[in-house]
Amino acid sequence: MTERNRRSPGESAVARSGRYPQMRGFMGRGPGFQEIPEIPETPKAALKRLLGYFKPDLRPLLALLLAAVLASLLASLAPAFIAEAVDAISRGDTGSVPGILTALIAVYLLSALFSLIQGAAGAGLSARLLKRLRNDLFQAVTSLPSGVSDRRSRGDLLSRMTSDADMVSDTVSMALTALFSGSLLLLGTQAVMFWYSVPLTLIALGTVLLTMIVTRIIARYIRKLLLRRQELLGKVNGIVEESLSNYQACVSLNMQDQNRAAFDEASDSLTRAAILAETAGNAMGPVMNTIGNLSFILVTIAGAVMAIHGLITVGTIAAFAVYARQLSRPVNMLAQVFGQIQTALAGAERIFEIMDLPRENTAGAPVPGDIRGEIEFRGVSFSYPGGAPALRNFSLCIAPGEKVALAGATGSGKSTLINLLLRFYEPDAGAILLDGRDIREFSVKSLRKTFGTVLQDTVLFSDTVRNNLTAGAPGISDSVLETRLRECGAWTLVSRIPSGTGALLTDAGARLSQGERQLLSVARTYVANPPVLILDEATSSLDTRTERHIQEALRALTGRRTCLIVAHRLSTILDADRIIVMDHGRIAEEGRHQELMAREGIYRKLFISQYSGTAT
């Protein structure tokens, strides 16, 4: 591992700059986001892996290769007709010239046709490869454990999904066809040139060797610049994404100037890197053209000397003049293609790095359908990567149907319990049991389906109201859906929305009020009818009137279910069967509200401080 990858997992690139506060994880205190510069694989490894994506398209690939062979063969034979025409004119045989020129035109037309077929086949290969590549990358991104995804900037992941994938696709559509045709044209041209004259061919090949040496030197430099450009692009995307996602918080803290400064600095670095990369890439063409012109001059002079001594004909000189140009064309093409391939490999390495990250373990047995809802934390200890212990030998047993609230100051470990219960993270020590069985025995999918979670930060999707409400129970009928919405008090809201459940929520329900969005979130959990309920500050961001309305829906939701409630606003847990007061990852107090108030301990101080306006 290099020094650049030895940063603390909880330290983001933005946090290191001092311009942004560290971003939090999925729930509660988490490891935050991080810009992790990648260690690129070797180009050969990336290329070999990328070529594996062509296996489903072997037939189109063979068609592309066949079209390239025919187009290159015809292009290699064309100058030979020019030589025949010139020699015929020099002999005074002008009668054969029209036939030769007709054949030459036919050769060029057929070569153009096969080139067109080659381009169409390359475009199809590109589109299908991009689809498979993005599918695999999306599967990888959506299967990352929370501990891994939280340490990566969402902007950087998005950059790999879009710009890096497009870069690979563009190379396939353009560079791949050029690679085939250029290589075959180079080989075909050399074969015909050797047949005409070995000395002139050796002179031309000398310039080809010079071209390869220069290309190798420039390409090494280009590769480093392209990797740097892609890293900086991911950093810029990360800053933009974080600024937009937390726009209101940034504005309320008057951080606009700091945000602009951070963006300007990263953008300036990206601009400099992009200019260097583009300049180095664009220099390849002029350098190759210069070497090609040198080859043309040397071949023409040597050919003239040989013609004077009667070693070759004038037609051969004319053909070699064309061949010298034709030889430099595929060399220049391959040189530019090599630069494009380097760009694609840089993007492919970044994509494969995400694909190679550890996936979330989804193996396990399904949770039984007759689950009672008994939850036990048995000696659980846990620390976020690079952080202090969040839980210390924590033990707690929740009986089936019991309503247990978690209270305590920020950072006491309340949300960490929820993260572990939902298996967003795995405990460092101890076990969590559901009906007496370790939750690690169950598959993640069935386990999380057992828990109905209502978060403080409401999450709605840009989809219909119905699809939002039935996300946890996609097969539910309209009649059952309406019944459950009436039971939890959300039907009035849904019926008031134009088009009802068929209405499309744009921008994740941005046109709805916070209370309406939260009510839909509660209703979604009620519709799923889970046996165990988790409420993570479900009403803390609402006004008193709206909270009272939501609380009615929550009472319908909780029923006789096992409930685990995370609360900062202690007034929302007065009716809890048991209140667990946490302090630095341990249980400090437990009991009902009146019992804890009578003890004059941590809970009483928290309760009084809230009503007196003191921060907790």
Helix ranges (DSSP H) in 356-443: 414-421
Indicate if 517 and 413 belong to the same structural domain. yes
Q: Show Cβ contacts of residue 333 under 8 Å, excluding neighbours closer than 6 positions.
A: 178, 181, 182
Average pLDDT over residues 469-474: 86
Strand partners, 378: 431
Range of the domain at 94: 57-355
Q: What is the pLDDT of residues 383-430, one digit of tens each?
A: 987 777 889 999 999 999 898 989 888 888 888 898 899 888 889 999
Q: For residue 571, what is the DSSP state?
A: G
Contact 221, 248 (CB under 8 A): no
Indicate if 410 and 333 belong to the same structural domain. no
Domain boundary among 355, 387, 415: 355
Is 307 domain-assigned? yes
Better-scored residue on pLDDT, 42 or 6? 42
**What proportions of the chain, in percent to the nearest 5, are helix, strand and coil?**
65, 10, 25
pLDDT > 90? residue 381:
yes
Q: Provide φ and ψ at 587, rounded to 5°.
A: -85, 120
Residue type, 155: G
Q: What is the pLDDT of residue 1?
A: 38
Indicate if 150 and 281 belong to the same structural domain. yes
Q: Angle CA(331)–CA(332)–CA(336) in degrees, nearest 5?
A: 115
Q: What is the pLDDT of residue 6?
A: 35
Indicate if 343 and 406 belong to the same structural domain. no
Q: What is the pLDDT of residue 195?
A: 81
Quickly state the pLDDT bin for 37 (edges 50, 70, 90).
very low
pTM metric for this prediction: 0.61
* Closest listed residue to residue 355, CA positions, set 126, 168, 124: 168
- Domains identified in the chain, total number: 2
Strand order in 429-434's β-sheet? 389-398, 375-383, 429-434, 437-438
Indicate if 318 and 236 belong to the same structural domain. yes
Q: What is the pLDDT of residue 139?
A: 86
Q: What is the pLDDT of residue 616?
A: 45
Distance CA 199, CA 204 (A): 9
Distance CA 169, CA 452 (A): 41
Domain boundary among 294, 325, 355: 355
Q: What is the pLDDT of residue 397?
A: 94
Indicate if 541 and 481 belong to the same structural domain. yes
Indicate if 114 and 241 belong to the same structural domain. yes
Is 216 domain-assigned? yes
Distance CA 575, CA 363 (A): 38
Distances (CA, A) of 139 to 164, 474, 516: 16, 21, 32
Indicate if 472 and 530 belong to the same structural domain. yes
Indicate if 326 and 424 belong to the same structural domain. no
Average pLDDT, the chain: 77
Indicate if 170 and 241 belong to the same structural domain. yes
**DSSP 3-state of 289:** helix
Distance CA 407, CA 580 (A): 6
Q: What is the pLDDT of residues 21-33, one digit of tens each?
A: 333 333 333 333 3
Q: Which of 13-27, 48-62, 84-98, 323-337 has the lowest mean pLDDT?
A: 13-27
Question: Measured between alpha carbons, how far apart are the two ends of the chain, in Å?
Answer: 41
Distance CA 293, CA 81 (A): 23
Quickly state the pLDDT bin for 346 (edges 50, 70, 90).
confident
Q: What is the pLDDT of residue 553?
A: 66
Q: What is the pLDDT of residues 122-163, one digit of tens each?
A: 888 888 888 888 888 888 888 877 767 666 667 777 778 777
